[in-house]
Amino acid sequence: MFNNIRIVLSHTTHPGNIGAAARAMKTMGLRHLYLINPRHFPDPQADAMAAGADDVLRGAVVCGSIDEALHGVAFTVAMTARLRDISIEVKTPRAAAPLLLQQAAQQQAALLFGTEMSGLTNEEMGKAQVLVNIPANPDFSSLNLAAAVQVMGYELNAAAQNYVPDVPEIRPATHEQMEGLFAHLEKTLLEIGFFTTQNPARMMQRLRRLYARARPEPEEVNILRGILSVTTEYNARLKSRYQEEHPDVRQH
Amino acid sequence: MFNNIRIVLSHTTHPGNIGAAARAMKTMGLRHLYLINPRHFPDPQADAMAAGADDVLRGAVVCGSIDEALHGVAFTVAMTARLRDISIEVKTPRAAAPLLLQQAAQQQAALLFGTEMSGLTNEEMGKAQVLVNIPANPDFSSLNLAAAVQVMGYELNAAAQNYVPDVPEIRPATHEQMEGLFAHLEKTLLEIGFFTTQNPARMMQRLRRLYARARPEPEEVNILRGILSVTTEYNARLKSRYQEEHPDVRQH
């Protein structure tokens, strides 16, 4: 049931937490662990804390970047300890688990956890379709990494109890297709001079969130990229025409 | 909201697990920790794993017995990793949490966790009104102690979101009143010779479960104990009459 779900831990500092997370995963029937630039791995402390989940550790995929870890993934849920002022949707574990299960029935899905100290970066969260916050004591909300994995695994199991297969109407684009779109979009906005009065990074975050909500299909990604291509072509035509007409004006 | 709920850890082996449990408690707003004969406490490993929940550790009550830890408690939920063949009810965390919250609104309640290796003894479980099992991978169901505390705390928080105060119709007897009844019952059954063909320990477990389901009020406990008193008095009268009539027969 959880075969299409990968647990992705980004830049984990303490190898013991990787082991404890592997144990939490295995108790809940989760098997696929991806590690983005772990500080120490493999490590005896990870083995010790895995306490019988060493098969999960042995099968772990160590990645050099988040894009590598999310390769082939079409639905990503990112964990956040803070309720940020952002326009991407923040759900409870209970609300997110059935959604993740539904998506994972058809395609690869990921559950993304940040570092022990600072969680996920804004850039990393921008790659998710849904954010999840575990409700906690406002004065002491720092769950241990493995404890957060345990809670999410627990909710996935609870959701699996009530799971009813439902063929989704849309088949959303993969992570790579979306990243291709965002790269194309950013390049285009730069070329047309859109960023002159905007903070490019912040604007790209907002646009990522907008498209995360939209969940485009591959064909729609192609349409959007087609628009971008035409935009720059049109822009290039305008520029060259301008240069023809005003050969003495220096172009920016 | 959780002020009447105590987390009771029985015979914990590793002090790091006590610290990690304290951290899990605090993230979920639980503050009252009771420790039955911990192997090492206080301990630097407990402090290290508490990671900011040292106030919970400092306030921990170390007890010499389960009866001491449950003193004043009227509703106890015990955790079990195994689905035993027993007649006491086994619930999911999701089903148990609202119940525990409801009970804790009126009186002291406890959430009881066993040792890392073997969980709770049958005797300890016999002191609970409800057993809870966290659904897990049947091939690898051993959740870390602190992870189990985290899941239960998480469910208590989820239940608190939907909590509607409800004045219970009954006010059940406390732990001490129930233990008084069971001691009286066992003594009586022994006196009347009921145990000659029965395993006393097993029979007492069954009777405990029966009364756990019944949840008697203090007045009902008094009635039951009244019956027991009369039983032994009647038995004593029978004996003495028999001795009067048969002065030559040795009494057992």
Both B104 and B185 in a single domain?
no
The reply to whether A51 falls in a domain is yes
Strand order in the sheet with A32-36: A61-63, A32-36, A5-10, A108-113, A73-79, A130-132, A90-91
CB contact under 8 A, A161 and B26: no
The answer on pLDDT for A250 being more than 80 is: no
The reply to whether A113 falls in a domain is yes
The answer on pLDDT for A225 being more than 90 is: no
Both A17 and A129 in a single domain?
yes
| pLDDT for the residue B83 | 67
Last residue of a domain, one of A161, A187, A218: A161
Residue from A1, A13, A25, A28 whose CB has the most chain B CBs within 10 Å, to mutate: A28
Residue of A nearest to B146 (CA): A147
Both A39 and A98 in a single domain?
yes
Q: How far is CA B73 from the centre of its chain?
A: 9
The reply to whether B170 falls in a domain is no
The answer on pLDDT for A238 being more than 80 is: no
What are the CA-CA distances from residue B72 to residues B29, B38, B67, B170 (Å)? Answer: 21, 21, 9, 17
The reply to whether A170 falls in a domain is no
| pLDDT for the residue A162 | 82
Q: Which residues pair with B144 in a beta bridge?
A: none
Residues 6+ apart with CB under 8 A from B63: B34, B35, B36, B37, B69
Both A131 and A234 in a single domain?
no
ipTM, interface predicted TM-score of the complex: 0.77
Running DSSP on this structure, what letter comes out for residue B10? E
The reply to whether B251 falls in a domain is no
* Separation in Å, CA of A67 to nearest CA in chain B: 30
B33 neighbors B9 (Cβ within 8 angstroms) = yes
How far apart (Å, rounded) are the C-alpha atoms in residues B195 and B203? Answer: 8
> Two tokens at B123?
């005797």
Per-residue confidence band for A169, with pLDDT thresholds at 50, 70 and 90: low
3-state secondary structure string, chain A? CCCCEEEEEECCCCHHHHHHHHHHHHHCCCCEEEEECCCCCCCHHHHHHHCCCHHHHHCCEEECCHHHHCCCEEEEEEECCCCCCCCCCEECHHHHHHHHHHHHCCCEEEEEECECCCECCHHHHCCCCEEECCCCCCCCCCCCHHHHHHHHHHHHHHHHHCCCCCCCCCCCCCHHHHHHHHHHHHHHHHHCCHHHHCCHHHHHHHHHHHHHHHCCCHHHHHHHHHHHHHHHHHHHHHHHHHHHHCCCCCCC
CATH number at residue A152: 3.40.1280.10
| pLDDT for the residue B203 | 83
pTM, full prediction: 0.80
> Two tokens at A78?
């990112």
The reply to whether B252 falls in a domain is no
The answer on pLDDT for A86 being more than 70 is: no
How far apart (Å, rounded) are the C-alpha atoms in residues A187 and A182? Answer: 8
Domain count, chain A: 2
Last residue of a domain, one of A139, A161, A183: A161
How far apart (Å, rounded) are the C-alpha atoms in residues A162 and A184? Answer: 41
Both B83 and B23 in a single domain?
yes
A79 neighbors A53 (Cβ within 8 angstroms) = no
Helices B145-161 & A145-161 angle (0-180, nearest 10): 60
The reply to whether B10 falls in a domain is yes
CATH number at residue B201: 1.10.8.590
- Please give the average per-residue pLDDT across A208-216, as a whole number: 81
Both B200 and B84 in a single domain?
no
**Chain A partners of B134 at a C-beta cutoff of 8 Å?**
154
Both A112 and A155 in a single domain?
yes
Both A103 and A200 in a single domain?
no
Helix (H) or strand (E) holding B53: none
The reply to whether A231 falls in a domain is yes
Per-residue pLDDT of chain B (252 residues; tens, 9 = 90+): 899 999 999 999 999 999 999 999 999 999 999 999 999 999 999 999 999 999 999 999 999 999 999 999 999 999 998 766 555 668 999 999 999 999 999 899 999 999 999 999 988 998 998 999 999 999 999 899 999 999 999 999 999 988 877 665 668 899 999 999 999 999 988 887 788 777 888 888 888 887 887 788 898 888 888 888 887 777 677 778 777 877 776 655
**Which residues constitute the domain of residue A110?**
5-161
Both A149 and A195 in a single domain?
no
Both B184 and B133 in a single domain?
no
- Please give the average per-residue pLDDT across A106-117, as a whole number: 95
CB contact under 8 A, A134 and B144: no
Residue of A nearest to B53 (CA): A140
* Separation in Å, CA of A27 to nearest CA in chain B: 5
- Of A63, A84, A72, nearest in space to A11 by CA: A63
Residues 6+ apart with CB under 8 A from B198: none
How far apart (Å, rounded) are the C-alpha atoms in residues A192 and A210? Answer: 20
Tally the C-alpha atoms within 13 A of residue B49's C-alpha that lie toward its C-beta: 25
Residue of A nearest to B139 (CA): A27
Last residue of a domain, one of B161, B188, B220: B161
Both A219 and A103 in a single domain?
no
Both A138 and A183 in a single domain?
no
